Amino acid sequence: MGQVVHTLPEGEPVVGVTSLGGVIFVLRWKTENQVELYDIVSCDLLCYMTVPNAHGFADMTSCEHYHCVYIADHIIMCVHRLDVDGPLSQWLVEDKPRSLFVNAEHNVLVTCDDVRKIKEFNSHGHFIRQMILCDEVINPIHAIQPTADRFVVCHGNDGDSVNRVCLMDGDGRSIIHSHGRQPGSDTDQYQGPVRLAVDHYGFVFVSDINNRRVTLLSPTLNYVRHVVSSDKLKGDPLRLCLDIHRRRLYVADNEWKNGKHTAGRVVVFSV
């Protein structure tokens, strides 16, 4: 199991967390349209960054190569780019973005669940390609790209007959292998797999929101172990970020009350 090494302050529910350089970036549901920046060692709050023209936050990720942070805006269907040492910009997705991932080519993968598409853009928002996922992948929530010719996609909402993680070919049309089946709490089951992360060796971390745990899978999606269990969290692990260099896993831990997420924090685990 991963060990808790830090806990960032509780506040509004967390909808995005990522790290870049010596900073942890935290995105919350709130009206100020601000990103919180924390020191990666002490976890002290450093400052805030404002996201101009933002309307709704869905996800966040970062790119070491371009030294920037991307934020998905599901209301105006765009991605905001925050250059840490430069200007802020945005570009249209033209479908509602659900989640983000930066691949080895430093391009941004945008998962659009309503239309079952993965769209790829370069860092400045120029459209490269899109993949329409096969019919078996219902409600794709997050897609990552461990290798140039493979994707890993998690899918399944409340009420769907299948909740699982799929290893797919390079065009998203064929499932090579999968982990999961009908919703449940066994080691080969999920109840809302909502976010993925991958390490240098291709091992996949899966945030399982309703089981309140994070599962580790092998590169071929075989079960390895649970790295975060429900007793380490107050609520639902809604977002996930892996700092490969420091071996830190950042988990957005959001409390659920009266049918909605009411508060959130980020728990930092060593893995």
Residue 31 confidence (pLDDT): 63
Residue with tokens 């959130």: 264
Q: What is the pLDDT of residue 259?
A: 86
The pLDDT-based confidence of 52 (bands split at 50, 70, 90) is confident
Predicted TM-score of the model (pTM) = 0.95
- Residue burial 162-195, b: 16+ Cβ < 10 Å; e: rest: bbbbbbbeeebeebeebbbeebeeeeebbbbbbb
- Tokens 């075989």 belong to 222
The pLDDT value given to residue 30: 78
Which one-letter amino acid corresponds to residue 130?
Answer: Q
Instruction: Confirm if 131 and 140 have CB atoms less than 8 A apart.
Output: no
> How high is the mean pLDDT of the chain?
94
On the CB side of 209, CA atoms within 13 Å amount to 21
pLDDT in tens, 131-184: 999 999 999 999 999 999 999 999 998 889 999 999 999 888 899 999 999 999
Fill in the DSSP letter of residue 133.
P
Q: What is the pLDDT of residue 26?
A: 97
Q: Which fold has domain 3-270?
A: Methylamine Dehydrogenase; Chain H (2.130.10)
pLDDT tens figures, 107-116: 999 999 999 9
Q: What is the pLDDT of residues 228-248, one digit of tens each?
A: 999 999 999 999 999 999 999
Q: Residue 201 carries which side chain, given as an amino acid letter?
A: Y
